[in-house]
Copies of this chain bind each other. A is one copy, B any other.
Amino acid sequence: MIIVMKKNAAEQEINAVAEKLQEKGFKVHLSEGVERTIIGAIGERTQAIMEYFMRQPGVEKVIPILQPFKMASREFKPEPTTVKVGDKIIGDGSLTIIAGPCAVEGREKLMEVALAVKEAGADMLRGGAFKPRTSPYSFQGLEREGLEILAEARKVTGLPVVTEVMDPRMIEVVSEYADILQVGARNMQNFFLLRELGKAGKPVLLKRGPSSTIEEWIMAAEYIISSGNEQVIMCERGIRTFEKYTRNTLDLSAVPLIKQLTHLPVIVDPSHGTGKWELVEPMAVAAVGAGSDGIMVEVHQNPSEALSDGPQSLMPDNFESLVTKVRAIHEALQNI
């Protein structure tokens, strides 16, 4: 890190900072400029160390030089991490399509949509069993019954199942039923949950928080990896901006950035990313163009009757069209 001293910092303040840096194990380089002294400090910096030096007398600011994440970084592990689920590998250059309803609404309805997405070409099935929503007056999910229905759908269709886990207490039960544990956008910085997912022994699909920087998102992955689980799949699903036509602003530049900064696979959810079903197909194609390892979309056989997220859900025939397009684009990119 770099410590910039105030213009009028006294020599003894500069020396005191330099000494404290050495005490804490840093190698110190002093640069006296025309306007002020700058101290380069080489060593392992943490947020706490930075804050410590920010408050030393004579210090103007502390600038971090290196990224705060380690085990998630591509520098730490240059070869890409792949996640194998059933006979599908996420992150190996292939394209994984995850589809299903926002919430599991009942046995028959889920079976119908699960068969439909399988028929249309999905690789995995998604569906929420726990659905706490912004309003306390909305449908909150079928809970454990929903998990059982998902497991049955997996048996019938052969599609691996992705479902959300919202609370550390649920990891065990959800792990019994699901192939991939999803961390929802609102839980991206639920550090208790992240730490326990590090010990869960199942792949984790980590959604980006709607107001999280890419750095914070990678730090959330770092929590899981440093707790023992490298099987993390990043999922871009839009960030909150001032634009109102869309529910969120899908940040597709996150796709090449995650590939550049980390060794983790990354997929895109254009359903939450836009909030409008008409935009799901073009943004799914765009995501594949940006280099995404997969897409996750909401499909419902009758979106107008969906208990949640109807406006952003595709009908099975729209989904089939989407699958055709994204597979064609993926193949065209592979062949260049």
Contacts and interface: CB of A to CB of B under 8 A. Distances in A.
A155 interface: no
Interface in A166-203: 166-169, 186-187, 189-192, 195
Given A66-B35, A287-B286, A136 B241 contact: no
A156 interface: no
A250 B283 CA distance: 12
A158 interface: no
A177 to B, nearest CB: 19
Contacts of A241: 239, 241-242, 249, 251
Interface stretch (A79-87, A113-121, A144-152, A298-306): A298-306
Contacts of A223: 136
B48 A138 contact: yes
B34 A134 contact: no
Nearest to A324: B336
A71 to B, nearest CB: 9
Given A241-B241, A304-B55, A68 B135 contact: yes
Please state the number of chain copies in the assembly. Answer: 4
Interface string A126-145: 00000011111111000000
A107 interface: no
Contact of A40 (B38, B222, B279, B289): B38
B255 A252 contact: no
Interface residues of A, number: 107
26 contacts: A2-B40, A7-B75, A27-B33, A46-B138, A47-B133, A47-B135, A52-B305, A53-B304, A55-B311, A136-B191, A136-B195, A136-B223, A136-B226, A167-B168, A167-B192, A187-B190, A214-B245, A215-B244, A239-B243, A239-B249, A249-B253, A250-B252, A252-B283, A256-B279, A289-B289, A332-B332
Q: Which 9 A-B pairs have the closest CB atoms?
A: A211-B211, A132-B191, A289-B289, A55-B304, A332-B332, A286-B290, A285-B289, A286-B289, A286-B286
Interface of A: 2, 4, 7, 27, 29, 31-36, 38, 40, 42, 46-48, 51-56, 63, 65-66, 68, 75, 132-139, 166-169, 186-187, 189-192, 195, 209-211, 213-216, 219, 222-223, 226-227, 239-246, 249-253, 255-257, 260, 273-274, 278-279, 282-283, 285-291, 303-311, 324-325, 328-329, 331-333, 335-336
